[in-house]
Amino acid sequence: MFMFSMFTSLLVYFSGVYIFSSKRKHLLMVLLSLEYMVLSLFMLLIIFLLSFDYDYFFPIVFLVFSVCEGALGLSILVSMIRSYGNDFFNSFFMSLC
């Protein structure tokens, strides 16, 4: 059971990395894939801590930082949509010139 859950969380993580590297046109897709990777790392962390009977203080800190990362990403997304009208990276870089 331990190896299956570890394999599943690693599969979820690498699928998130694949989505992050292939879907780079929209900021929203990038943010969703980052959250997907953070949740898979959280799942891997919980599995690791369950196998060694450690304390659960660090996963709470990890979740706090992941929520802060998500809130920061959403604020950047809202700021970009209000300024440029969409979340395409191509239109964002063209307006800088």
Q: pTM of the prediction?
A: 0.82
Q: Using alpha carbons only, what angle is made at residue 8 by residues 3 and 17, rounded to the nearest 5 degrees?
A: 130
Other residues' Cβ atoms within 10 Å of the Cβ of residue 34: 18
Give the angle 18-23-26 at the CA atoms, nearest 5°. Answer: 145
Query: DSSP assignment, residue 54?
Result: -
Q: State the DSSP code for 19.
A: H
What is the pLDDT at residue 93? 61
Q: Which residue has the higher pLDDT, 67 or 52?
A: 67
User: Cβ(69)–Cβ(34) under 8 Å?
Assistant: yes
Residue pLDDT, tens place only, 55-67: 888 899 999 999 9
26: β partners: 88
- 10-48: pLDDT as tens digits: 999 999 999 989 877 888 888 999 999 999 999 999 988
Statement: residue 4 has pLDDT above 60: yes
Q: How many domains does the chain fold into?
A: 1
**Residue 58 is part of which domain span?**
2-94
69: domain CATH number? 1.10.287.3510
Structure letter (DSSP) for residue 95: T
